[in-house]
Amino acid sequence: MPSSKKTSPKDDPKKAARAASISDVARESGVSIFTVSAVVNNKSHVGKNRRQRVENAIRKLNYRPNLIARSLIKQKTQTIGMIVPDIANPFFPMVVRGAEDAAQEQGYNLLLCNSDDSLAKEESAVELLLSKRVDGILLTKAAGAFRPSLRQMIKEVNIPFVLVMRTYPQLTRDAVISDDYQGAYDAVCHLARAGRRRIGLISGPLKVSNAKERWRGFRDALEAKNLPYEPELVVEGDYRIESGFRGGHSLLSHQPDGIYVANHLMTIGLLQAAEEMGLKCPDDFGLVSFDDYPWLGVFRPRWTTVELPKHQLGSEAARLLIQRISGDHSKPVLRKLQPELRVRESCGFGQFVSSGQHHSSLPEPATISAGNK
């Protein structure tokens, strides 16, 4: 014979599993649903005593706001997307961390995608983020234009984009970048101060804006120092180790006495090529690399580098994006952050000075903020 004993919510698994609703919180705290909503959304007009009762009820019932329902009402998901070329590249983790830190400070979450610097993968990532109803997108743009159907989709959805590290005015003029021109200019000028006269370059892919700027800074610095531009001493890479290795073999066969490499990974490839060819830095060539990392202290010689403000790039881009999401329609912003030349041993400046070839007017090596030509 079935028992007539009544079950409590604790005894009933189905009821016990039900998540507390805003109505439950209102009943528990003895206030209206509107008051609970005001507390949850941190409105200032709720009195201290009522707020305390609501907060106690929220904790007691383990209430969690329905974020999906809230996003449908507000037409916002409190989520931003970010697309980078390759999270395995040591440059990008700190950029992403900067963006995530700034986003979380303002109540946003971040969804991350990799494009592998492929336009097709980048387009797929944009479509994915749009389908997830993100409120805005941070993008390090791959080379090439979006297909017309995606451009139309972006126009219809009408969410803001902010570019990071690379400009692409056809999409947006809002961008946070480093002053790549100045960083390259200062790198080559320092090689010249170290007595290097035939200076080569392993560049990034010249279809993207930051690689073009680093090439331009290289070229202008040679001109400023009355040094020759030799086409055979310029090799285009793709910011990956393998391209630095191939470019290193090509470049070193022409015996430059100084080399500027446009990113860290290609520098590793260059040094692998130099080792295979029996060449040593700085005895056979001086070297400056773009971007700096704590572990570079274990390399010998220690590299002279142009450090980029990675965390700041990400955080300022995220803040600008959230500013746009919040309704700021002021004129487009291009923020250009200054790199820093960190002088160490790989240019061979000390060897040059000790050989007596330098002139007294040449400055001694130091840590130099880029910006002084």
- Using one digit for the tens of pLDDT, what is the confidence trace for 306-348? 999 999 999 999 999 999 999 999 999 999 999 999 999 998 8
Encode burial over 266-285: b for 16+ CB neighbours within 10 A, e otherwise: bbbbbbbbbeeeeeebbeeb
Q: Taking a C-beta distance cutoff of 8 angstroms, is the pair 117, 92 a contact?
A: no
Confidence at 19, pLDDT banded by 50, 70, 90: confident
Q: Exposure string (b/e) for 53-83, b if CB count within 10 Å is 16 or more?
A: bbeebbeebebeeeeeeeeeeeebbbbbbbb
pLDDT, tens digit, 9 for 90 and up, residues 92-131:
999 999 999 999 999 999 999 999 999 999 999 999 999 8
Lowest mean pLDDT among 4-13, 24-33, 148-157, 267-276: 4-13
Mean pLDDT of the chain: 87
Lowest-pLDDT range of 34-43, 154-163, 172-181, 269-278: 34-43
Closest Cα to residue 221, out of 177, 267, 171, 260?
Answer: 260
Structure tokens belonging to residue 89: 């590249």
pLDDT at 31: 87
65 closest CA partner among 113, 119, 121, 25: 25
Percent of the chain whose predicted confidence (pLDDT) is above 70: 85
Token pair 């995530």 is found at 100
Instruction: Provide the pLDDT for residue 367.
Output: 45
**Mean pLDDT (whole number) for 207-227:** 97
Ranking 19-28, 53-62, 67-76 by mean pLDDT, the lowest is: 67-76
- pLDDT, tens digit (0-9, with 9 covering 90-100), for 127-180: 999 989 999 999 999 999 999 999 999 998 899 999 999 999 999 999 999 999
Report CA-CA distances (Å) from 22 to 57, 71, 107, 146, 175: 10, 16, 21, 44, 41
